[in-house]
Chain A
Amino acid sequence: MNLSPRCFILLLALLLVFPSGLAAQETGPTGDGPEIPPGAHEKAIEALKRLGPERGAKKIDFHMARIMGLARGIEAKSKKIQEALRNLNAEVTETEIRIDLSGDILFGFDRWDIRSDAEETLKKIAGVIRAYKSPQITVSGHTDSKGPEDYNQRLSEKRARAVKQWFTDHAGIDPKTIKAVGFGETRPKVPNTHPDGSDDPEGRQKNRRVEIRIKKSR
């Protein structure tokens, strides 16, 4: 492909003018819709001058404050959050939301790094935390009774910390609001053995879990 110097200059000019032209004009966000007309900002400056130093501020009264509080409540009750709570089998009480996650879903055997296929679940929980503007979240790790007690204790602590880390790193939750604790095998949900003393794999599976308690904001 041969290029005459004239063509080259034309293309170079296009290259320089194209982005600056975009920057000079306010454009709408990606999608279908109008661009902001070029004179809109000048009109806005004039409008601002007419408003004076208070810029048209209206006091938010008690009635408005109540509406704002109501709006927050609506947000927490929005369809998406309600659906997430249902999917997570969450228990919602007056003061908190309780979510129990199977350790087998979150982690591989004997591991404490979050499985990639568990991230969708954690994303839903992060959405709940944000919607309720929770001031305090407790993440507690629990294991079954198989293996040495001190090993299980350490594993449960590491798993709780891993969940906390995920919320902090991937969902932007303030780490100061999350408490991570490990209880090892000391707080089983169900017995680890059958009444005759034989091993109960199903019971142990239920005990390998992470409990998340999301305190509601007042």
Chain B
Amino acid sequence: MTKQQQLDSRIIDVIRDRGFSELSLVQEQAIPKILNGDHLLLIAPTGTGKTESAMIPVLSGMLKGTGSGFTTLYITPLRALNRDILRRMEWWCQNLGLTSGVRHGDTSQAERRKQVLHPPDLLITTPETVQALFMGKRLREHLRGIRYVIVDEIHDLAGTKRGTQLVIALERLCRYAGEFQRIGLSATVGNPKEVSEFLTGERPCSIVEVPVAKTLDIHVEITGERFESQVSAIRKHIKKDNSTLIFVNTRSTAESLGHALIKDGNVDVHHGSLSRDIRIEAEDRFKQGDIKTLICTSSMELGIDIGHVEHVIQFGSPREVSRLVQRVGRAGHQIGKVSIGTIITSGFDDLCESLVIAGRARQGAVENVIPSYQAGDVIGNQIAAIAVEYGEISIDDIFSIISHSSIGIKEQDTLERIISQLTEHYLIRRDGNKIITTSRARRYLSGNLSMIPDERKFPVYDIVTRRTVGTLDESFIITSLHTGAVFIARGQLWRVLDLEEGKVTVEPARNTEGELPSWEGEQIPVPFEIAQEVGRLRRTRTFKDYTTDKAAIAFANGFLDLVCKNHGIIPTDHLITLEPSDEGVVLNNCAGHQTNEALGRVISILLSARFGTTIGLELDAYRILFRVPREISVRDVRETLLGLQPEHIRGILELALKRTSLFRWKLVQIAKKFGAIDPDADYERLSLHRLSDLLAHPQIQEETYRELFSRYMDVSHAIEIIRAIKNDETEVTIAPVSMIGAAALFSSSRDQIPPPTADQAVISALKHRLDKQEVLLVCMNCRKWKTKTVVSRVPDQPVCGNCGARLIAALKPYETELYSAANKKTKNPEEKALEQKLFRNANMVLSSGKKAILILSAKGVGPETASRILATYTDGDALMREILKAERNFVKTHRFWQ
């Protein structure tokens, strides 16, 4: 082995002791490059000896001499992973006479102090703790000797703001340690070059990639919608295998599946809501073979070593190819072994999506990881951190640090704008070309070491039963709640009475109109390409190309046949269908969550502007539900969709997003990272609906838009869809309600788009009030008929229930006496005048029907004002404006104030 000869002889001995007879493919390719001093991105499936590939040559280099501080930083995204890496590295280090240690949020004070006095040669840590290393004076000194930085699971960090923060921190590190060698360890990604640049910036970076696709053997099964049959399908598998990992998409599924399987014995559950001890215990028991099956969420996706896994079951669609590859890659955890995975699917969407994702996984078509370029809040956070680190520093120096990383800013102007923003929040002071730290900055930093948005939970307290009925997320409270709001929790309606002292006080609410806010949190979006391929599969029915499972093919064909038999139209990649339903209008579009988000929002914004009403919006990867009032028809939605101009989409969204709860939620998160709001800010102090106005700083807004458009809304694919409609490549048709449109999966994302102006909101409220207004209808012909009703129930042309005449006067509900007075046989002059007034009223109803009744039921509007309004010949919103004007005039009269 010639390659090994470059390794230090001591490490070759240790490798022999460890019992490695030969190097794996990954190791053979990676080790020489690292020994050569290259920056390296190493891409290989989990369990192929990635960590050792990087660490053997690094340890060899460390043997050439270590200084008084740290020599190597090993950074992973998870504390659990840190512990695992330490377990594996301790052995190597001990045998080589090196020291190792872990430092992260769980590390004890005593351990931390020890590390300050005697820094280990190899420090295993998280990106957030790297931030903390710069804050202590003595720790900073220990950074000077660093020669290697390994970033593990870099695919998981590169797409997030944590990653952005980390690569800026690496540039900060260069100011102490000079240039050091950077090694990134990654699972398969679609864009290795971009990820390598993320790691090293403009420095050249080698890439070693071991393909994953050949080693995957994935099956897709259909079990049907019933939970019991899903459980029994799983049971069949886990009986056969010696060790099975079952991945589910949500914690609650993990719990219910665990509940169903736990009585079988040999099963345990592992997810993020469980305490650390319980999780570690489950990992250990699985590793030692005490349990055969472990049910887990994405908590087990990253490379924590849990020993041999024979079979991976994915419960429901994995939604992304990379996720499936990662998860199934956990099986056959030995070099050269095939990973066996099974996706258990429950319904049509789930099945088709899984077939497409499995097909793509076999081809190795994994998604790209897109770094957060030029994220303003991260850069702001790092400027504040640098100021604390140095006390005072020149703006040129800051620019040089930040612009060196690949994701930083390239123009000094942007930096200046972010600096002036930070100054406003008292995080830094500016003195000419220098910035100086403030007393607030250190406190801000200790609360904002992490770029992960933190969510506080607020208890919901029922004032009637005097008990806590659940908790709500901060995001939900900020975006949707205020006193008086009604929401759903635990399947019940609640009205908010109070938002104080960190809790939400509620009372049970009765029925209410329309859709209620309920926040489901962020879900894993299905990418555009996958949703489109699902649409193609619906159109071509080439299920055989994707699977050999006869039951799955029969289910899919049977489902489509049934839709057709019921006169439904199947939406595909070339066909968008619009279905009217009791709930509103469903737009079926196979375009993925983010594209549907962009399209759904543009359409609802236009509808709410045109009709002056709030539009409820819910969507998933294949459909958008617009919850609309009855006056908006499926044709209106179609017209709006067809009328969209591709070049207007982005502009419409930018203008209108500001009013949405999604925008407000993101704005608050980003404002926190900018230091405008403390992590534990007391929201009761401020009227929440004003919050977004107060945070309307250009930098905060710009970053909010950047994040929304890069993470939540896929504008470019939405434009592609609209272009395809204009070019007749995609057809749009109205169809009856189908099983596809009616799929009850409407819980992935909800928002409400309010009408654009206060004027429209006021008109809506007026319409609502008038509709509910009680009115007394009396017959002026037979004089023997009166009825009390509400305006919304009045027919267009009311007739007398007794004589059938149309001479009906509309009185206020409390004016019964007027009718009796006018009907007296002998009348005094006053009563005669009254009778004349009622006649005038009835004549108006005779000629204008319900419209007259509507006007007469407004506040303080009598026959004279009503006839003046009728004479304007207005309708719709214009009529409502006339009524509002009349009521305003009445309000100014003396009569109103009595």
A and B: bona fide binding partners: no
Interface residues in chain B, defined as those with a beta carbon under 8 Å from any beta carbon in chain A: none
The chain A residues found within 8 Å of chain B, CB to CB, are none
